[in-house]
């Protein structure tokens, strides 16, 4: 029986697993003390294999490392026993001390936890979620709405600043609000708040659409009136807007009385222009969109709703139509001349592509249901739901009232990409017909998808309820994530993890820490030091101008978020760089920096307010200063009143960090159980042999430990097979260009050190870097290695190692290891490089394949679109040709019938007239003629006429020829008249021209005569006539010249 306890032997066995001796790697006096304590019997090799190996080795040694003879082991054992007793007492005292220390530590930890909990209770978080678990409470708007946060109202007086009118698509009251409604409302609210904080006069309108067939059907299925259904859903939409802190100035409902009057007035204006007419319509009706579809669309959709799969409704009813085609070219010209009319650009091009085909007249009334606005002058017709709903943007601001035309037209109209046709084509055509200005811009946003980019659907189960999101996250977090995470116009992949990351990065680490630091450094008031000479964190005016230019684009909200994020980050970098808390000597500089920090936070609160109104409102409250228009802020960062008190006593943290709570799916749980079972089946086995034994070290002595082999699982066998195939691959590579290794011999009991003579010959080429016999280890000289004793049995004495055998590790194993490890590392690195290169090539190929696939899909889509367009054009061309042909045939038939009737009437009158002129009615037989002969003659004439015109096409051709001949003669007469008129006009022009020429000649002749007279007078003044003949001759010449002039 061994004197040592089993626990001590287990500790010793665990220690000797990695050591050769009890004191380390060299034999010492401690080994002999433990040997004497164990006694004469060897320990159990099966229970304590390492102690048994050590016991065998120590019992055969003659000399210890310090020269002590083994015979002195008895004295050492006695001394060890005494020390053992003392050590036991010391261990007992140490155990008691450890227990006491642990108790004190536990008490201290409990106290610290209690203090931490108390401290956490005292910390106030300004912005927290507002849970509302009651579903019924979510769907009812509060009579007293909650606080809407910063800049919920205009900062300027109406009329004192530039007006800005923002509208949204009004929500249809036939279902509950979803996350898409929240996205549109938040985007419009951010635009409204930005223009308010900039200093504009903003009017923000949203509301509900409450007329149409779908609502009437819903009310009938629920057993309620349509108005009751509208009230329920309208309240639900308003409740969601309240939770999202939407700051709309107007909430319009299409059941409001003033809206109905505006719709009827607009109808009368459009009708007075001749743009509305009554006709019959037969076709397929899409109830979901409240519109008729073309035959081509119905055939392409297989006569089913492409979204819901429900069959289209085939209807035939009398309806009023709006002549939309009249304004097609005018609308196209407007869209092309106003690039900002539809944003982003892809939706503008989409509308222009659809407008390349002719517009059909729009059916704008219904008779099959009565839930709508009555049409003036027609009690059995109600207005088409889109013709009714689109007018709300006018009725909200009294757009048709000439006394109140302040806010129209709208500066920004926010809609979703699924209704752009109604808002970008139908609505502008209606406004053009009424001569009303069009909205300045229509900003189109995308959809919200799930985290994987899939469309949200109830059948898939990935629909997100906005109320559930608001129960878990603050409203500012939801708003900021929606507006900043995806470009406006594209689809947003809604992910809770991404929202948490955005919250932590931007709101907590970015803005929250900056605000908390500013309030903490303020000291309770705004420092009274100037900041003019300090370096500013950012350029205030440039930042405001850039942000305003970005937000005025309306489709660049995410870019505006990026600017705010960059400015906030620059402020954080600046305060980290200047470090005012380290400035101890210069108080004036330190307080000036703190003042500039507070001024920067005040400006940042204005920039963040449109996106996180509740957080911005808390910042203004912390600074005890109200917001002002951005254009009125000082560029020198002097907006806070010096010495103004800051209430720091009740101030808390602005934001609280969020943690991603990951939920494990069923598939992940199953995979984890499988992995656990595989790990249990393939538990790591103890390494066997020289290369795997961790006890082997320089100068040590070791024996092989036999471990029973356990059964392996299928997964482990497959892994072993894969490793074996890899090993064989490396073997083949080694045979070609490396050191070879032979397979183990059948008689060998181990396979880790099997070398051939060829291998040793190649190892001799390695330069020896040290001598194992003379190498020393600091600080003591290395003892000599034990004498190597070869095994006494075995098939291969040169390489086989049995229990109790000795070997020199440095001489026998190290060179082999250097070559094997070096080659292995080299091969492993080459394989890693090859795998990385192959992976890179595969990625490039995958990218190319994806790109090619996308291009093929796009080409196929474009080809399909082109086929549909060509088919539709050909169909419409054929239909138009058939219509024209049918109308021509019908016109000729009607004309021939009228001519035949006229001819018969004239024939009867002519016969009677001729008989009367011949005196056939003067004799007594007049009555017989009128009663017998005349009817027979008339009937015969009628029969003859009917026979002559029996073939309708012959009569039509004759009439057409006559008409053509008359037209030809008329055209000839007209052309002759025009020719004569032109000749007369030419003669008149020539006569006028000749008259002008004659007048010019007479004028020139008169001038010549006057000149001659002047010359004659001058001549007479110089030459005095002395004889009567000369006088008479001069007089005669003068008279002749005058006559000639006349």
Least confident of 105-109, 198-202, 733-737, 757-761: 757-761
Strand segments, DSSP code E, in 958-1025 are none
d(CA 206, CA 415): 11
In 3D space, the residue among 569, 566, 593 whose CA is nearest the CA of residue 580 turns out to be 593
Locate tokens 């076709």: which residue?
283
Mean pLDDT computed over 943-947: 72
Mean pLDDT computed over 669-682: 60
Q: Residue 604 has what pLDDT?
A: 93
pLDDT at 651 over 70: no
Cis peptide leading into 941, omega within 30 of 0? no
d(CA 641, CA 523): 15
| 567: DSSP letter | H
Mean pLDDT computed over 331-348: 90
CB–CB of 652/125 below 8 Å?
yes
pLDDT at 701 over 90: no
d(CA 945, CA 935): 15
pLDDT at 998 over 90: no
Q: Within 13 Å, how many C-alpha atoms sit on residue 172's CB side?
A: 19
Beta bridge partners of 284: 293, 314
Tens of pLDDT, residues 795-834: 444 555 555 555 566 666 677 777 788 788 888 888 888 8
- Is pTM beyond 0.75 here? no
Mean pLDDT computed over 587-603: 89
Q: Residue 424 has what pLDDT?
A: 92
Q: Residue 741 has what pLDDT?
A: 45
Q: Name, of 381-395, 598-612, 649-663, the range with top average pLDDT.
A: 598-612
CB–CB of 427/342 below 8 Å?
no
Q: Name, of 52-56, 180-184, 819-823, the range with top average pLDDT.
A: 180-184
Structure tokens at 162: 């530039």
pLDDT at 702 over 50: no
In 3D space, the residue among 526, 276, 527 whose CA is nearest the CA of residue 377 turns out to be 276
Q: Which one is predicted more confidently, 738 or 380?
A: 380
CB–CB of 543/633 below 8 Å?
no
Least confident of 148-162, 389-403, 556-570, 750-764: 750-764
Q: Could you tell me whether strands 250-253 and 276-286 are parallel, antiparallel, or unpaired per DSSP bridges?
A: unpaired
Mean pLDDT computed over 69-79: 48
- 230 φ/ψ angles, rounded to the nearest 5 degrees: -65, -40
Locate tokens 């305003």: which residue?
548
All domains in the chain, ordered by first residue = 6-122 (1.20.1050), 825-948 (no CATH), 973-1045 (no CATH)
pLDDT at 611 over 90: yes
Tens of pLDDT, residues 876-922: 888 888 888 888 888 888 888 888 888 877 877 777 777 666 665 55
Query: What does the DSSP assignment read for 411-452?
Result: SEEEEETTSHHIIIIIHHHHHHHTT-PPPS-EEEE--EE-TT
pLDDT at 190 over 90: yes
Q: Could you tell me whether strands 378-383 and 171-172 are parallel, antiparallel, or unpaired per DSSP bridges?
A: unpaired
- 653 φ/ψ angles, rounded to the nearest 5 degrees: -70, 140
Cis peptide leading into 348, omega within 30 of 0? no
Mean pLDDT computed over 297-326: 81
pLDDT confidence of 842, banded at 50, 70, 90?
Answer: confident
d(CA 759, CA 740): 6
CB–CB of 934/912 below 8 Å?
yes
Tens of pLDDT, residues 250-300: 999 998 888 999 998 999 999 998 888 888 877 787 766 666 777 767 777
Q: Residue 385 has what pLDDT?
A: 73
Structure tokens at 374: 């009555």
Q: What angle do CA 721, 724, 727 make, to 5 degrees?
A: 155
Mean pLDDT computed over 718-729: 76
Q: Which long-range contacts (CB under 8 A, 24 or more apart) does 885-889 make?
A: none
What is the chain's mean pLDDT, rounded?
76
Q: Residue 605 has what pLDDT?
A: 93
Q: Which one is predicted more confidently, 681 or 574?
A: 574
Please enumerate in sequence order all residues whose Cβ is within 8 A of that of 938, keeping only pairs 6 or more positions apart, or say none. Answer: 908, 911
Query: What does the DSSP assignment read for 623-658?
Result: HT-----GGGS-TTS--SPTT-B---SS--BS----
* Buried-exposed string 170-198: b where 16+ CB fall within 10 A, e elsewhere: bbbbbebbebbbbbbbbbbbbbbbbbbbb
d(CA 832, CA 520): 53
Q: Residue 685 has what pLDDT?
A: 46
pLDDT at 606 over 90: yes
| 812: DSSP letter | H
Q: Residue 748 has what pLDDT?
A: 42
Q: Residue 333 has what pLDDT?
A: 92
Number of helical (H) and strand (E) elements in the chain, helices listed first? 33, 16
Instruction: Find the farthest-apart pair of alpha carbons in the chain and give their distance in angstroms, rounded.
Output: 197
d(CA 904, CA 946): 9
């Amino acid at each position: 029986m061994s004197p040592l306890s089993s626990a001590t032997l287990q500790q010793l066995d665990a220690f000797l697993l990695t050591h050769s001796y009890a004191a380390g790697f060299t034999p010492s006096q401690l080994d002999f003390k433990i040997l004497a304590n164990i006694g004469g019997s060897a320990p159990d090799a099966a229970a304590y294999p390492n102690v048994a190996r050590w016991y065998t080795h120590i019992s055969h040694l003659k000399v210890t490392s310090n020269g002590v003879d083994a015979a002195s082991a008895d004295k050492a054992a006695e001394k060890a026993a005494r020390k053992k007793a003392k050590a036991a007492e010391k261990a007992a005292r140490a155990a008691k001390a450890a227990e006491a220390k642990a108790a004190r530590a536990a008490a201290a930890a409990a106290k610290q936890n209690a203090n931490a909990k108390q401290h956490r209770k005292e910390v106030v978080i300004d912005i927290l979620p507002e849970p509302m678990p009651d579903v019924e409470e979510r769907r009812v708007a509060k009579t007293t709405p909650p606080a809407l946060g910063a800049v919920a109202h205009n900062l300027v007086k109406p009329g004192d600043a530039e007006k800005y009118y923002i509208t949204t698509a009004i929500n249809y009251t036939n279902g509950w609000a979803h996350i898409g409604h929240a996205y549109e409302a938040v985007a419009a609210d951010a635009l409204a708040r930005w223009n308010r904080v900039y200093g504009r006069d903003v009017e923000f309108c949203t509301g509900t659409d409450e007329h149409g067939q779908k609502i009437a059907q819903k009310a009938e299925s629920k057993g309620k009136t349509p108005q009751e259904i509208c009230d329920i859903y309208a309240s639900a939409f308003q409740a969601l807007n309240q939770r999202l802190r939407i700051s709309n100035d107007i909430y319009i409902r299409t059941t409001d009385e003033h809206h109905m009057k505006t719709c009827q007035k607009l109808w009368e204006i459009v009708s007075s222009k001749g743009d509305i007419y009554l006709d019959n319509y037969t076709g397929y009706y899409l109830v979901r969109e409240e519109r008729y579809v073309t035959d081509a669309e119905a055939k392409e959709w297989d006569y089913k709703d492409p979204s819901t799969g429900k069959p289209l409704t085939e209807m035939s009813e009398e309806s009023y139509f709006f002549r939309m085609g009249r304004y097609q070219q005018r609308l196209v010209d407007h869209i092309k001349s106003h690039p900002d009319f539809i944003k982003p650009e892809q939706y503008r091009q989409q509308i222009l592509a659809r407008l390349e085909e002719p517009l059909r007249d729009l059916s704008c009334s219904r008779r099959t249901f009565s839930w709508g606005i009555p049409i003036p002058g027609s009690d059995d017709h109600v207005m088409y739901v889109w013709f009714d709903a689109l007018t709300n943007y006018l009725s909200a601001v009294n757009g048709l009232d000439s006394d109140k035309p302040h806010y129209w037209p709208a500066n920004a109209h926010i809609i979703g990409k699924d209704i752009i046709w109604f808002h970008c084509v139908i609505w502008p055509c209606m406004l053009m017909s009424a001569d009303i200005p069009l909205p300045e811009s229509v900003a189109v946003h995308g959809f919200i998808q799930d985290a994987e980019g899939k469309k949200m659907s109830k059948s898939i189960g990935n629909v997100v309820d906005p109320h559930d999101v608001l129960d878990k996250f603050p409203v500012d977090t939801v708003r900021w994530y929606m507006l900043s995470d995806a470009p406006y116009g594209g689809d947003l992949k809604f992910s809770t993890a991404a929202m948490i990351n955005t919250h932590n990065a931007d709101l907590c680490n970015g803005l929250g820490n900056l605000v908390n630091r500013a309030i903490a450094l303020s000291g309770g008031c705004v420092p009274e030091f100037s900041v003019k000479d300090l370096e500013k964190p950012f350029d205030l005016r440039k930042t405001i101008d850039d942000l305003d230019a970005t937000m005025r684009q309306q489709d660049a909200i995410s870019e505006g978020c990026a600017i705010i994020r960059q400015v906030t980050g620059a402020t954080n970098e600046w305060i980290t760089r200047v470090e005012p808390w380290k400035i101890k000597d210069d108080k004036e500089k330190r307080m000036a920096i703190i003042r500039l920090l507070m001024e920067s936070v005040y400006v940042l609160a204005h920039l963040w307010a449109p996106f996180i109104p509740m957080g911005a409102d808390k910042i203004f409250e912390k600074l005890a200063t109200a917001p002002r228009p951005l254009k009125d802020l000082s560029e020198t960062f002097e907006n806070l009143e010096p010495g103004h008190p800051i209430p720091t006593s009740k101030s808390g943290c602005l934001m609280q960090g969020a943690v991603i709570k990951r939920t494990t799916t069923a598939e992940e749980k199953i995979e984890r159980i499988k992995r656990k079972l595989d790990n249990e089946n393939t538990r790591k086995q103890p390494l066997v042999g020289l290369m795997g034994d961790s006890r082997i070290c320089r100068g040590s002595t070791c024996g092989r430990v036999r471990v029973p082999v356990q059964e392996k699982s299928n997964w482990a066998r497959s892994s072993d097979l894969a490793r074996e195939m890899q090993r064989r691959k490396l073997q083949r590579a080694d045979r070609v260009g490396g050191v070879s290794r032979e397979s183990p011999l059948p008689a060998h009991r181990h396979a880790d050190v099997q070398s051939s003579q060829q291998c040793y010959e190649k190892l001799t080429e390695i330069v020896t870097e040290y001598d194992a016999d003379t190498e020393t280890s600091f600080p003591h000289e290395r003892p000599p290695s034990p004498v190597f004793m070869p095994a006494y049995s075995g098939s291969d004495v040169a390489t086989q190692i049995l229990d109790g055998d000795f070997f020199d590790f440095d001489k026998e194993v190290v060179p082999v290891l250097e070559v094997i490890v070096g080659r292995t590392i080299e091969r492993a690195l080459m394989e890693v490089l090859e795998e990385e290169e192959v992976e890179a090539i595969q990625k490039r190929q995958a990218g190319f394949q994806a790109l090619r696939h996308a291009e093929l899909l796009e080409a196929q889509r474009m080809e399909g679109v082109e086929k549909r367009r060509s088919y539709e054009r050909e169909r419409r061309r054929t239909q138009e040709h058939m219509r024209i042909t049918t109308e021509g045939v019908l016109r000729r038939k009607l004309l021939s019938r009228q001519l035949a009737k006229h001819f018969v009437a004239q024939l009867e009158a002519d016969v009677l007239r001729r008989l009367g002129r011949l005196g056939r009615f003067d004799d007594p037989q007049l009555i017989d003629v009128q009663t017998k002969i005349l009817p027979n003659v008339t009937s015969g004439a009628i029969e003859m006429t009917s026979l002559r015109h029996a073939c309708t096409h012959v009569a039509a051709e004759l009439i057409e020829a006559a008409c053509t001949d008359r037209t030809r003669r008329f055209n000839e007469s007209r052309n002759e008249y025009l020719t004569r008129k032109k000749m007369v006009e030419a003669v008149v022009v020539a006569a006028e021209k000749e008259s002008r020429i004659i007048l010019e000649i007479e004028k020139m002749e008169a001038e010549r005569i006057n000149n001659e007279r002047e010359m004659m007078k001058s001549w007479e003044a110089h030459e005095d006539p002395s004889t009567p003949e000369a006088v008479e001759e001069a007089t005669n010449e003068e008279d002749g010249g005058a006559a000639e002039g006349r």
